[in-house]
Amino acid sequence: MDIILWIAQNIFVTPAILLGLIVLVGLLLQKKGPSQVVSGTFKTIIGFLIINAGANVIVGSLNIFEPMWKEVFNLESSALGEFMGQEAFNNQFGSMVALAMTLGFLINVILARFTKAKYIYLTGHMMFWTTMIFAGILVNSVGTDVSFWGAVIFLAVILGIYWTVQPAVTQPIMRRITGNDNIALGHTSASVALLGALGGKLLGNKDNDSEKLQLPKNLEFLRDSNVITALTMIILFVIGAVVVTVKQTPGSQELMASAGEQNFIVYSIIQSFTFAAGIAVVLMGVRMFIGELVPAFKGIATKIVPGSKPALDVPILFPYAPNAVVLGFLGAFVGAMIWLVIIGNTVAYVFVPTMIVLFFHGAAAGVFGNATGGVRGALLGGFLTSTIVAWGQYFMVRSFIGNTIPDTAMWAADSDMFILGPIVSFLGQLFF
């Protein structure tokens, strides 16, 4: 009994070790060689630990971004408030997230085996963030004393159903876009993609296909996520910094004092690069452990579910309509700037427009919108994406995840999570 307790207290509560063990079992099941087993397991553990480091960098930059824009909009100036934050949340609930993700995947495999929805969800990084955000919502709504296994099973069931149903719902339009039935979309942009398709159908013009357009070569840099993230944050930070510098209010002077000897605008530009750097660090960590986890998952799935179709990341859509991808992003970007101003002036919330979310979700909505409504459909799809993301972030941070991980919700939560978040919160209160 002492041994079990010792294992529970020392190993089970460390999510990095737990994930390492899950990958270890997956690799052993696939009869990989010893060098692959060791490197796969180690990279999983290191990768998970890297996430905490990057998350802290992002929060550091957001802690300047938020008061800066509050000052721009003349809002009550306050920091992000009291909350747990990603690192503390990981330390306390990371094992819950790791187990819920793994069990949720197994439920997805079982549902695919026994129902008509033969889709296996393989977009690992989105599986991770969805589980993380839903766990943050659950703990936020029922409290930190939530029963460990109750929460694991609750989350796994919701996720397993979501990962099976989501690809099935988007598949009719996917068939139209890809021209076959071999691959499905497995991504949290399903809701905005469907909205884009609906909007395109109602207001677009299908004959004006975006792929007939010639887009300028200069937009190629949009394909590098580090560059667009830094660029957009520079624009926003510099606008904020200039306004703060011009104002002579106590709030703006306090902000400028935080730069110390450095010029405030230069300081702000460095903050925007720091934000992009933080995201790059987190993504590197996620890449390291998802890169080991997903092949292990795939090996299990293909053995148990013959004839299953993989549900994959958004870029599978890109080759079918590359122009619609850019149009969707442009629609989302313009929309995000409009909502930043409107939300700031009405409900006094500073929207953090995360380019990764706007780009990939805007792209999905753009391609779906183009399929039903051409150029206008693609742009509209992008705009609808920014609408869901901006208002979703506001409601999420203020109402559903404010005590746990609002910092993560500001950049890693997105369309489907915003739509499903209130339902998770409601069901959590119902069951716990």
Partner 1 sequence: MKILTVCGLGQGTSLILKMNVESVLQSLGVSDADVEHTDVSSASSMNADYIITSNELAQNLEDHSAKIIIVNNYFDEDEIKQALETEFS
Q: Which of residues 271-310 bind partner 1 (CB under 8 A)?
A: 280, 283-284, 286-287, 290-291, 294-295, 298, 310
Nearer to partner 1, 66 or 414 (CB): 414
Nearer to partner 1, 181 or 224 (CB): 224
**By CB under 8 A, residue 211 contacts partner 1:** no
Find the Cα–Cα–Cα–Cα dihedral 93, 97, 99, 105, rounded to 10°: 170
**By CB under 8 A, residue 356 contacts partner 1:** yes
For the residues of 417-432, what is the DSSP string, one character each?
Answer: HHHHHHHHHHHHHHH-
Q: From CA 197, how far away is CA 42, in angstroms rounded?
A: 43
Residue 170 Cβ vs partner 1, minimum distance, rounded to whole Å: 16
Mutual orientation of helices 415-431 and 190-203 as an angle, nearest 10°?
120
Q: From CA 81, how far away is CA 191, in angstroms rounded?
A: 30
Residue 134 Cβ vs partner 1, minimum distance, rounded to whole Å: 19
Nearer to partner 1, 227 or 266 (CB): 227
User: Widest CA span of the chain, in angstroms?
Assistant: 70
**By CB under 8 A, residue 123 contacts partner 1:** yes
**By CB under 8 A, residue 124 contacts partner 1:** yes
**By CB under 8 A, residue 125 contacts partner 1:** yes
Residue 18 Cβ vs partner 1, minimum distance, rounded to whole Å: 21
Name which position in 29, 227, 342, 347 contacts partner 1 (CB under 8 A). 227
Q: From CA 202, how far away is CA 172, in angstroms rounded?
A: 18
DSSP H stretches of helix in 347-401? 355-395
Q: From CA 185, how far away is CA 63, in angstroms rounded?
A: 35
Name which position in 34, 179, 260, 319 contacts partner 1 (CB under 8 A). 319
Nearer to partner 1, 310 or 331 (CB): 310
Closest CA to 104 of 152, 32, 174, 49: 152
Residue 217 Cβ vs partner 1, minimum distance, rounded to whole Å: 9
Residue 142 Cβ vs partner 1, minimum distance, rounded to whole Å: 31
The two structure tokens encoding residue 66 = 């938020």
**By CB under 8 A, residue 405 contacts partner 1:** no
For the residues of 335-358, what is the DSSP string, one character each?
Answer: HHHHHHHHHHHHT-------HHHH
Residue 123 Cβ vs partner 1, minimum distance, rounded to whole Å: 5
Conformation bin of residue 81: beta by default, left when phi > 0, alpha when psi is -120 to 50: left
Conformation bin of residue 86: beta by default, left when phi > 0, alpha when psi is -120 to 50: alpha
Residue 314 Cβ vs partner 1, minimum distance, rounded to whole Å: 8
Nearer to partner 1, 279 or 410 (CB): 279
Name which position in 75, 316, 336, 343 contacts partner 1 (CB under 8 A). 316
Residue 224 Cβ vs partner 1, minimum distance, rounded to whole Å: 5
**By CB under 8 A, residue 122 contacts partner 1:** yes
Nearer to partner 1, 10 or 39 (CB): 39
Mutual orientation of helices 355-395 and 190-203 as an angle, nearest 10°?
90
State the DSSP code for 261. Answer: T
Name which position in 50, 107, 126, 159 contacts partner 1 (CB under 8 A). 126
Residues that bind partner 1 (CB under 8 A): 122-126, 183, 220, 223-227, 280, 283-284, 286-287, 290-291, 294-295, 298, 310, 312-316, 319, 322, 356, 360
